[in-house]
Amino acid sequence: MISVLGAGAFGTALAISIAEGGSLVWLWGRNGDSLRAMQDSRDCPRLPGVTLPDGLTCSGDLAELTATGPVLMAVPMQTLRQVLKAHAARLDQRTLVLCCKGIELSSGKRASEVVAEVLPGALPALLSGPSFATDIARGLPTALTLACAEPGLAAALQASLSTPTLRLYRSTDLTGVELGGALKNVMAIACGACTGAGLGDSARAALITRGYAEMQRMAAALGAQPETLAGLSGFGDLTLTCTSEGSRNYRFGQSIGRGEPFDPTITVEGAATAQATDALAARLGLDMPITRVVTGLVTGALDVTSAMDALLSRPLKEE
């Protein structure tokens, strides 16, 4: 049995896809009423038009979590620690496949580091890469990276979570895969702000490219393999998220660029992650100017014009 904790858009989409692939899947969400409604109606309000497959069971009761099998953690990054702590007795010693993309604001830690701290007996793995929940739920072709430090477990998870439409590549570089997924959201906010403010596609291409350079800089400083960032959870996800209005981070950036409000109930991982990354970069002595201005934008310390000026007025340098 494969379990998924977090019945938001991504957790539900993954649960649907893996169940469609023939595995039995158990999906838990904190709102018991809505999980019961999903179980009975076979519909999901977060993914309109998608029918839940027979192999998928929805529940609001974590006591029903099976004793074996991987547990996919699909809650937002800033809530991960709280969820792990609240359910420590059930989650310790388990294989936890972390699906969240971000860096914890309070600690500057990545998801696997939070797991190591809260549940040292658990085995962390990651699932990351370019994938909109709606695409996965509809069975559209998607390729993601499955990372786990233990090669044998990485291969076993790759085999059990891949489906005919969800193709998983494996990696043992947790740091690189985690940073790729987290930092692309920061760049997506920058790109959304750029196009939202009417600064043009050329400027966006510059932000994607120089944003990628920042991602590589941070990854190298934290010991990731340089080639990991060129993979799905890096270049791949950066491409998707910085160019599509399907991305919430990109749309959030657009609203900043247009000077419009954005629904605060929508999950935008890049806002907290920009601030966490900016603080981490300062601690490590890394130059990450785009992350810096995104931090200014999301905290309200900068407007788009001053953010643009801050980037363009920097001393000229080698590429």
Ligand X SMILES: NC(=O)C1=CN([C@@H]2O[C@H](COP(=O)(O)OP(=O)(O)OC[C@H]3O[C@@H](n4cnc5c(N)ncnc54)[C@H](O)[C@@H]3O)[C@@H](O)[C@H]2O)C=CC1
**Helix, strand, coil share of the chain (percent; to 5):** 55, 15, 35
35 vs 74 by CB, closer to ligand 13P: 74
Identify which of residues 55 and 270 has a Cβ nearer to ligand 13P in the complex.
270
Give every CB contact of residue 274 below 8 A, 6+ residues apart in sequence.
186, 189, 291, 294, 295, 298
CB of 28: closest distance to ligand X in angstroms?
8
Cβ contact 44:134 at 8 Å: no
**Nearest to ligand X of 29, 180 (CB atom):** 29
What 3-state class would DSSP assign to 190? helix
In angstroms, what is the minimal distance from the CB of 33 to ligand X? 12
Q: Please give the order of strands across the beta sheet that includes 123-128.
A: 56-59, 25-28, 2-5, 71-73, 95-98, 123-128, 142-148, 166-171
Which residue spans within 33-136 are E strands per DSSP? Answer: 56-59, 71-73, 95-98, 123-128
Binding segment toward ligand 13P, per CB under 6 A, in 70-78, 118-126, 161-169, 247-255:
247-255
Backbone angles phi, psi at 63, to 5 degrees: -65, -20
Q: Which of residues 261-290 bind ligand 13P (CB under 6 A)?
A: 269
Asked if residue 60 binds ligand 13P (CB under 6 A), the reply is: no
Q: Is 247 in the site for ligand 13P (CB under 6 A)?
A: yes
Residue among 178 and 237 whose Cβ is closer to ligand 13P: 237
Q: Count CB neighbours of 142 within 10 A.
A: 20
Known binder of ligand: residue 185?
no
Nearest-angstrom CA–CA distance, 70 and 95 = 5
Determine the Cα–Cα distance for residues 195 and 218; give it in Å rounded to an integer. Answer: 25
* Binds 180: which of ligand X, ligand 13P, none (CB < 5-8 Å by kind): none
Select the residue whose beta carbon is closest to ligand X and give its number: 8
46 binds ligand 13P (CB under 6 A): no
Nearer to ligand X, 77 or 125 (CB): 77
Q: In this structure, are residues 298 and 102 in contact, taking their beta carbons and an 8 Å threshold? A: no
Q: Is 237 marked as binding a ligand?
A: yes
Residue 285 annotated as lining a ligand binding site? no
| Burial grade of 191 (CB within 10 A; 0-12, 13-18, 19 or more) | buried
Structural contact between residues 228 and 173, judged by C-beta atoms closer than 8 angstroms: yes
- Judged by CB under 6 A, which of 146, 240, 276, 288 binds ligand 13P? 240
- Total binding residues for ligand 13P by CB under 6 A? 13
Q: Would you call 317 a catalytic residue per the annotation?
A: no
Q: Annotation-wise, does 292 bind a ligand?
A: no
| Cα 6 from Cα 77, distance rounded (Å) | 11
Residue 252 DSSP SS3: helix
Binding flags for ligand 13P, 192-231, as an x/- string (CB under 6 A): ----------------------------------------
Among 7, 96, 99, 132, binds ligand 13P (CB under 6 A): 132
Cβ neighbours of residue 303 closer than 8 Å, sequence gap 6 or more? 297
Nearer to ligand 13P, 60 or 180 (CB): 180
Binding to ligand 13P (CB under 6 A) within 175-194 occurs at 185, 188
Q: How far is the CB of 278 from ligand X (least distance, A)?
A: 19
Active site residues: 184
| Contacting positions for ligand 13P (CB under 6 A) | 101, 130-132, 185, 188, 237, 240-241, 247-249, 269
Residues in binding site for substrate = 101, 248-249
